[in-house]
Amino acid sequence: MRNNPDSARRRLIQLLGSAALLSGPAGVAQAVNTLSGFRMVQQDNVMLHFDLSEATGDASLFTLTNPDRLVIDLPDTRMAESVTPESFSQGAVKGFRFGTHESGKLRVVIDLRRPVNASFRFVARQVGQRLIVDLGVKGNPELAEYKARITEPAALRDVIVAIDAGHGGKDPGAIGQRSTREKDITLKVARRLYNRLEKQPGVKPVMIRNKDTYVALRERIRIARDKHADLFISVHADAFKRKAAKGSSVYALSLKGASSEAAAWLAEKENEADALFGDIALDGLSQDLKQTLLDLAQNSTLEASLEVGDDVLSELKKIGAVHKPSVEQANFAVLKSPDIPSVLVETAFISNLQEERKLNSPRFQETLAAAIQKGVMGYLSKRAPEGTRLYANKG
């Protein structure tokens, strides 16, 4: 080792110190540093570059003979999961392997074809630092540079919540006794929900429609998919032939049949826009799509839909009457994304005179939006998709 002996000793002391501290009473060490990149460069000399996530300045190196090896110990460090041991058919370096000591120390062993005279230094990087080991032997520029297949962890993303304001444009939806049009109420509540979700860290809401336009049901699903939605919330205002019907309801897709006669009736009404306005008939689904929908019964999307539905419904219960005590299921076309958990919220009955009045009140619209937002956040606190900031922060 050519490195300054004082600093080498200091490093060794640091190494021992941190290992002892981290072992703790339970003897469990948690690595804080990640070896996130490894490169062998054949320049004048053979150089090894180790990229580390933290700038700890801790490393100790020593050589062993018979066979020749260089050992690099990195305290409190783990190897990125995608790295596997490698061997090389020519050059000074025969290969490398590594293992983690229970103290949390990562040991990298470089198997050598000939003795080396290694030295090392740390170089600061934008994040963490790079340990550069100069093997002190001539490199062979003919040999291609070796780069470990280390995938940098992708940046964490936001959870994308698609907000679908029901109806729109030439499709007014249900019409109240005082001529309130469902499409206007759904857009107002949807916009309020958007504004609320936008303020939630780690959440990015997207509107399926943000003006008074007609969007076919399947187009809504397509837009959600294009926006990479993780959740789909369709906002409606119920209508029923029985004018006294009242309260909020939450629906998830049913593949077998509606959970109640009213649900079946409603699904037919909500779906009829496409039939009325010339979209491809829903029962004209391809065999493929039908199969996908059947598969959906077994996969977790429906389960997730029911779960987010439960969370939204329990928030709606807190603000007033709910029509049914649990999430209902019906064959709503707009809920048919096979891979995006989707729910349809019937905020209140526009056909009920009293509820029609409430639906027109900005205060009630805000209360509804708040309840839906809380339900969505409650769901995401348990079930945020992997790779999202919310998932990472879950702890």
Task: Tell me the closest approach of the beta carbon of residue 324 to Zn ion, in angstroms.
Answer: 17
- Please state, in angstroms and as integers, the Cα–Cα distance from residue 270 to each residue in 234, 289, 345, 349, following that order: 11, 20, 12, 14
Residue nearest to Zn ion (CB): 236
DSSP track, 295-326: HHHHSHHHHHHHHHHHHHHHHHHHHS-BSSSS
Task: Tell me the closest approach of the beta carbon of residue 288 to Zn ion, in angstroms.
Answer: 28
| Window contacting Zn ion (CB under 5 A); options: 69-77, 153-161, 228-236, 332-340 | 228-236
How many CB atoms within 10 Å of residue 81? Answer: 10
What does the per-residue mask of binding to Zn ion show for 119-158, with x meaning CB under 5 A? ----------------------------------------
Per CB under 5 A, 236 contacts Zn ion: yes
Per CB under 5 A, 168 contacts Zn ion: no
Cβ 71 vs Cβ 108: under 8 Å? yes
User: Chain centroid to CA 35: how far?
Assistant: 24
Task: Tell me the closest approach of the beta carbon of residue 32 to Zn ion, in angstroms.
Answer: 52
Cβ 44 vs Cβ 139: under 8 Å? yes
| Window contacting Zn ion (CB under 5 A); options: 123-131, 232-240, 274-282, 328-336 | 232-240
- Please state, in angstroms and as integers, the Cα–Cα distance from residue 59 to each residue in 130, 200, 216, 351, following that order: 11, 41, 62, 73
Task: Tell me the closest approach of the beta carbon of residue 302 to Zn ion, in angstroms.
Answer: 21
Residue number, 69 or 236, with CB nearest to Zn ion: 236
Task: Tell me the closest approach of the beta carbon of residue 369 to Zn ion, in angstroms.
Answer: 17
Binders of Zn ion among 269-308, rule CB under 5 A?
A: 270
How many CB atoms within 10 Å of residue 20? Answer: 10
Q: Token match 């490093």: residue?
A: 11
Per CB under 5 A, 166 contacts Zn ion: yes
| Window contacting Zn ion (CB under 5 A); options: 72-80, 116-124, 234-242, 333-341 | 234-242
Q: Phi first, then psi: what are they for 3, rounded to 5°?
A: -70, 150
CB-count burial class (<10 Å; 0-12, 13-18, 19+) for 13: exposed
Task: Tell me the closest approach of the beta carbon of residue 273 to Zn ion, in angstroms.
Answer: 8
Task: Choose which of 75, 128, 168, 173 interacts with Zn ion (CB under 5 A).
Answer: 173
Per CB under 5 A, 196 contacts Zn ion: no
Cα angle vertex 301, ends 186, 161, to 5°? 40
**Nearby residues of 134 by Cβ (< 8 Å), 6 or more positions away:** 45, 46, 47, 118, 119, 120
Per CB under 5 A, 181 contacts Zn ion: no
Per CB under 5 A, 91 contacts Zn ion: no
What does the per-residue mask of binding to Zn ion show for 31-70, with x meaning CB under 5 A? ----------------------------------------
| Window contacting Zn ion (CB under 5 A); options: 8-16, 195-203, 263-271, 276-284 | 263-271
Residue number, 94 or 181, with CB nearest to Zn ion: 181
- Please state, in angstroms and as integers, the Cα–Cα distance from residue 25 to each residue in 13, 20, 28, following that order: 20, 10, 8
Q: What is the DSSP code (8-state) at residue 91?
A: S
Binding residues for Zn ion (CB under 5 A): 166, 173, 236, 270
